[in-house]
Structures are given as C-alpha cells and as structure tokens.
Amino acid sequence: MILVGLALLNTLVSATTERQSLLPLSSVSLNEEQIALGKQIYRQGFSSANHPVTAIVQGDVTFDGSQFTCINCHRRSGMGAIEGNRIVPPVTGLALYNSSDWFWTDIENLATRDTLTASPANPFSLSSGLAYRKRPAYTDNTLAQAIREGIDSNGQPFSPLMPRYNLAEQDMSALIAYLKTLSTQFSPGVTEKNIYFATVVTEEVNLDQRQAMLTVLETYFKEKNAQTRDETRRLQTGAFYHRYKNKAYRQWVLLPWLLTGPPTTWPEQLARYYQQQPVFAMVSGISTHYWQPIYTFCEQRQIPCLLPNTDWPKLPDKPDDFYTLYFSKGVSLEALAIAKQLARHSTPTMILQIFRPDTVGAAAAQMVHRTLSTAAIRDWSLTATTKLTVNSLSHQVQTSPTNIVIFWLSGDELVELTDWSTRRENSPQFYFSATLLNSQFTLIPQSMRDKSFVAHLYSLPTDLKPRSQRIQAWLQNRNISLINLKIQDQTYFASLILGEGIMHIKRYFYRDYLLDSIDHAEGMAIFSAYYPRLSFGPGQRYLAKGCYILELKNQNDEVIVNNSTWIVP
Amino acid sequence: MPQLVLLLILFLVVKIGYAQEDHSAHHAMMHQQSEHYTRSVETYTIPEITLINQEDKEIALLSLLKSSERVALNFIFTTCTTICPVMTATFAKMRQQLGTEADKLLMVSISIDPEQDTPAALQAYAKRYQANPQWQFLTGELEQIIAIQKAFNTYTGNKMNHRPLTFFKQPNQANQWIRIDGLASSADLAKEYRSLLAK
C-alpha cells in the first residue's frame, strides 16, 4: 500500500512553476491584508466586522461560522479530506481555478485521462471507489456563487453537508484571495529525484540511545528506497506508470542533524543545517533536553516534526501551532494524571513534590501546581549537593503535615531511601513517574512499595510483551539488536506514520497536507507497542492522551501492580 | 505457462468484479444520500455502563435512557471534520423546530473518541452548539464506548469511518429504537420525532 501511494509524484519544481501560471492573474496582486482577513474567515470563521460569519447547512440549519469553519473540513492545507464515505474536496486556488479533471489528473499535462476519469480520479485512494465530482474551472464569480448558494461551476448543487455561507462582498473577496494562496507550491525539501527528511540528535544523548533510533530510521529508509528503486525506470515504460503512478516516487534521504552546545544555540545550528539542505519534514529525533528550540524552529519554518523521542515536549501555546506531532505530553501528562487522581481524594491532600531545578521533573511539578491550584503543595527543589536520604525526607515530611509525596526524580536518586519504613506513624503515599523511573519499578525501595503509585502512560507491563512482538520481530529479522525498546518502538512507529502520510499525499508535496493526512491515520494506532491507546484526529497534537495510575505492592520481594486506573486528564 | 495465463485472467476478472462491486455500492450510497436517509426499527440491548457527562458527572447510561420516553441519540466526536458538526447543528435545530413539543425530549450525544473528548472538551463543544441542559454529551472508558457502539450496531473499529446515524427511542416499547441512517435534515428528524409522539 505504501509503495503504491509513494508513487504519484514527480513533477516537482518545474511543474510548480507551470501550475502557478495557471492561476488567474488576479492572484498575483493579492494584498496581504485581504489575505489575512481571508485566513481569519477560513480558520476562525470571523468576518471583517469581527463577527462570526453565518451560514445554512442541510437546507435549514443556520449557524455561525465558528461552528463550521472552512478549515474544519477542508483542513489547513485546503486539500480536503475523506472521513468515512464522505469526500471533502480540495479548495486550493489550483484545484478551484482548474477543472477537476485537470487538478487530479492533468496536473502533469497528460493528453488522455480515460483511465482515471473512468475510475474516479480520487486523489486519496484510487481503489476506494469514491467518486470525485466533475466540474469545469471556477471563476471568482462562480466560486462566490458556490460559497453562497451551494451551486458548483457545473450548475450542480453541492452535498447538503457543505454550508451555504452568507458573506459580504469584501469578506468573499478576502476568502477567495486566501484560497488562492493555499498549497500553491510544493514545500521545500523535495526535488525531482529526492525527498529530504531530517532527524535531530542532541549531543547529550548517549550512544546507545542514538544508535537505537538511528538504526531503525536508517533501516526503514533503506528498505523504502529498495522497494521503490524501479519506479523511475517504470516511468519510461508502462502506460499506467507513465500516466499516474510513479509520479509520487522519490528517493528518501535521511539527514541526521546533530545539535551541540547549549540549547540556546540550537536555532542557529538548525538554520544552518536547513540552509545547507532544506527538508520536507523532520521524523523522530531524540533529546533529553526541553524540546522547545526544535519545536519553535519547526513552527517558524512550518516544518512537520513527526513523533520525536522526547519526554519533555514543548506544549503548544498558540492556537495556530500545528507542526509538531508528539506521542504525548510526556512527564507532564503523568503530572496531569496524578493531579487528577489527587483531586478525586475526599480528604484534603498535603503534597510534597521533590525535583531537581531546570529538569523535566521541575516542569512536571509546575504542572501539578497549575492543575491543583487550591491544594496545599510544597516544593522541595534539590540543590546540586543535596542527596535524598531517609533523614532528609523524614525532616521534610515532618516539617509540615504531608500525606502525599511526589518524586519527580529518576530511579538512581532513590537508592538512599531503602531504609525508609512505611510503618512509621502516618507514612505518606508516594507517587512516581514511570518515565523518570524508566518503568523500572524495582528501583522503588521495597519498604515504600505498599504505599506507592506510579503514573504510567505506557502499556501495562503485562501487555507490553505481547504488544511488542511486532517490533521485536521487525528488529530481529534485520539483525538489529534490541537496545532500548521504548526508543526503537517509538522510532519505528514514527517511520510508519511518515510512510503512511507520504502514501496519502501522493504527488501533492505540501507539508500541511502531510499533517492533515496523518490526522486521519487512526488505523495505524495498533502498530504501537508502547502506547495502549493512541488516538488520531484533526488538530490533535498528542496521540496518547491518557495515563495509568498503578498501585504497587511488594510481594515476596517483588514489585507487582495491584491495581490500575486509566485517567484521561 | 498456460496455467499462469489462466491465473492472470482469473485475477483480472476478479479484480474488475470487485471494482464494479465497489462502484455500484457507491452509487447505491449516493442514491440513498439523495433521499437523505433510511429508517428502520431495531431492537437494541443497552449495556449497563457508567459514562461521564460534559460536567464531569458520572451517568448510568441505562437509567438515563430510561428516565424519559422521549430520547434522541447520536454518536459524534469533537474533532470530526465532516458529518459531526452537521449532525450536531441539525440536532440543535431539530429541538428548536419542535419548540414546546421537545420539552421532555432528552438528547444524548456519545463521543466515539473518548481519549480526546474529555468532559472539558465536550463542554466546549456543547457550548459551541448552544446545547441546553436536556442535551447530555457523554464520554467514558474506551471499552465502554466500544460496547455502546456495538449495542447500537454503529461500531466500525475506526472513528474516521463512522456513519451519520440518529436514534429515537420508541416510546413505551422496551429496547426498540428508530434508526435513521443518513444525513437527515432537522425537518426530517422533527418529523420522525413527531410520528413517534403520535403513536
């Protein structure tokens, strides 16, 4: 499937120039203000008067545009979508101002379209049997009529699903101006022969972990290219290939971008790498530091960043943020789950949080503060010279009444606590982060275990073994050592998602379209071993939203999971 | 060699057969769509599950659905890009069109994306569609959400493949529901509801 989809491209930059020339002349003189207003209407549903635009759907249902924004269905790229058996057609200038046949099939200036028009020229899936509406090119007038009255350029009514928008002249012109700017050119990082992807590695990541990620990525890329190596040759031969199929194929090129020095210098390094060779997207990547500089770079340059190996993601803070897709909020998700769990307590909680400053643990502690704003929470920020010991912890717990202790620390910080006695009077409950413990519950001192809970955003330990059979077999068949299952599983999944996304966008190399397509990759969730419930959806930027709270128990000197609760904060 | 050719021909025939089947199914679907919807009477056994509403309150589904003889129910998810916004707006419009006839109507929208649709997400969604208090938006554990979809024969295994379905409880008929399959308009839904009241 991936191979078939990977085809469908090839027109690259030269074709882009050709396409642009097919846009009406008016598109050249669009002014920025008008486009900004059009964007506001498209994305937020607000008119020039800053009022929600109004519309009618299903014949008689009136509503305002904030309920039905254009972007909601036609997506950020304007390339539309398919959901269930419904097609949402593209609304880019190129799609609208050319005949539907041209957009889907004549884009390479081919002479005959029989094959494709006979079997519907659906850009998303030729085999799906979903028909695409045939129509001539729109003009500004027929397009305005279509948006207002729901009549297409062929005089045919739209599906009742498409709202009829009541737009004033000025707003209509602005919206149309904006549509003309959508997905007009292939994104950077694609040439006639190659499509470039980067993967970021920061220098503090140890060699084993780098190796774990890079071998999976390199192997995936190598196999992808091996499978598609003949497509360019086929272009010269069979009519089918010539017409359509292998227009999409490109050699995948992976560029590891190693970032060194302090994170403040990363943006400059990233810019330098990018200048040397622009990439279409970033895939996977690994860092133990805050992911923010890479996140910001990707937002600024509008580069998709697919599923990096990070436990410390930068959380989107602007409504328009779009380009980074994470597995989860990482340790912050564990913090949110613990906070929600504690909020359910019937008795007042008196919480002590322990962390080291400027770490992901400190960020998680902040998250608990923000979420449980009314709870009594004390922070104990360990200085570089402070070690966590039974005495120091006892002192903290006795200083002020404490019934919950949250350790935002890694397992090796707990070694001095082995003599802790939970039998002492009023021993608090202990909460830990599975991510920081690296899911090694045995690092929790035995004497604490009967009072311990772990926020665990991964598959339950008992589920991981059967769920990881696929990735383990994949690694084994390629003679790749199992170095770090989490990193290898996450990287493998990121590779699959990239493959799936590129398959769906076919020859339409727009970054926004790649992300729009991945939003619909719900069926891929089962390929993850590490995450029990990944969920995709438009605008969803974390695939894993929930987290277990595991209640531990010490049994015959072993640690077992006594109970588990799934929490979606 | 001749066997190979035969096999190839057989493969092509089967392939073309499938393609035609797909196509005709599609046309049938479009035809159905042009007539808006199909209606059937179904018997469903509602599982005893507890869901969570938009106010983060636990709701025993079976009790909720028994609490009124007038119930309209659908399945949605808040980040859906196609039919859910339309179905939700249509649901709201139906209530508006029914006026006082809808006084005792309980509306229930169950999210099929429980990992994303937290009570807070549902509350924002409800607000966007100006839902009144007699409209419950429900989410819950993934297993429960799958169970309730299976109970109403709507489960597709992938939320992106969900169909536009609306259900009305048959008053005074245990477990009987009217299943509206397709994008019915608000007037259609109001008509269906009224026909139930008339019985």
Every domain of chain A and the residues it spans:
24-181, 194-322+467-509, 331-456+547-567
Chain A nearest-CA residue for B91: A61
Residue B34 has pLDDT above 50, yes or no: no
Q: How far apart are CA A177 and CA A158, in angstroms?
A: 21
Task: Reduce the DSSP state of residue B109 to 3 states and report it.
Answer: strand
User: Would the pLDDT of A184 be above 80?
Assistant: yes
- In chain B, what are the domain boundaries? 1-35, 37-198
What is the reported pLDDT for B86?
87
Supply the pLDDT for residue A83: 72
In chain B the first and final C-alpha atoms are separated, in Å, by 69
A449 in Cβ contact with A329 (< 8 Å): no
**What fold does the segment set A331-456+547-567 form as a domain?**
Rossmann fold (3.40.50)
Alpha-carbon span B142 to A533, nearest angstrom:
9
pLDDT for residue A147 is more than 80:
yes
Cβ distance of A545 and B30 shorter than 8 Å: no
The answer to whether A388 and A416 have CB atoms below 8 angstroms apart is: yes
Cβ neighbourhood burial of A407 (10 Å; 0-12, 13-18, 19+)? buried
Chain A hits for B124, CB-CB cut-off 8 Å, are none
Q: How confident is the model at residue A507 (pLDDT cuts 50, 70, 90)?
A: confident
Contacts of A493 (CB under 8 A, 6+ apart): A307, A524, A527, A528, A530
Of A83, A128, A546, the CB nearest to B81: A83
pLDDT higher than threshold 80 for residue A247: no
* pLDDT over 90, % of chain A: 64
- A305's tokens: 């960043």
**Same fold flag, A194-322+467-509 and A331-456+547-567:** yes
- Under DSSP, the state recorded for A354 is E
Element (H or E) spanning A406, and its range?
A: strand A404-408
Residues of B in contact with A67 (CB under 8 A): 85, 89, 128-129
Q: Do A61 and B186 touch (CB under 8 A)?
A: yes
Contact check, Cβ <8 Å, B22/A569: no
Q: Choose the weakest-confidence range: A30-39, A102-111, A269-278, A467-476.
A: A102-111
Assess whether pLDDT exceeds 70 at residue A444. yes
CA distance B184 to B193: 12
- Residue B117 near residue B53 (C-beta atoms within 8 A): no
Closest residue in A to B86 (Cα) is A161
pLDDT tens digits, one per residue of A203-229: 999 999 999 999 999 999 999 999 887
Q: HSE (CB half, 13 Å, CA atoms) of A140?
A: 16
Which residues contact residue B157 at a Cβ distance below 8 angstroms, ignoring those fewer than 6 apart?
Answer: none
**Which residues of chain B neighbour A84 with C-beta distances below 8 Å?**
82-83, 156, 160-163
Q: B37-198, superfamily in CATH?
A: Glutaredoxin (3.40.30.10)
ipTM of the complex: 0.79
Per CB-CB distance under 8 Å, the chain B contacts of A86 are 82-83
Q: How many CB atoms lie within 10 A of CB A147?
A: 25
CA gap B53, B50 in Å, rounded: 10
- Give the pLDDT band (50/70/90) at residue A50: confident
- Element housing A499 (H / E): helix A485-505
- Superfamily for the A194-322+467-509 domain: Response regulator (3.40.50.2300)
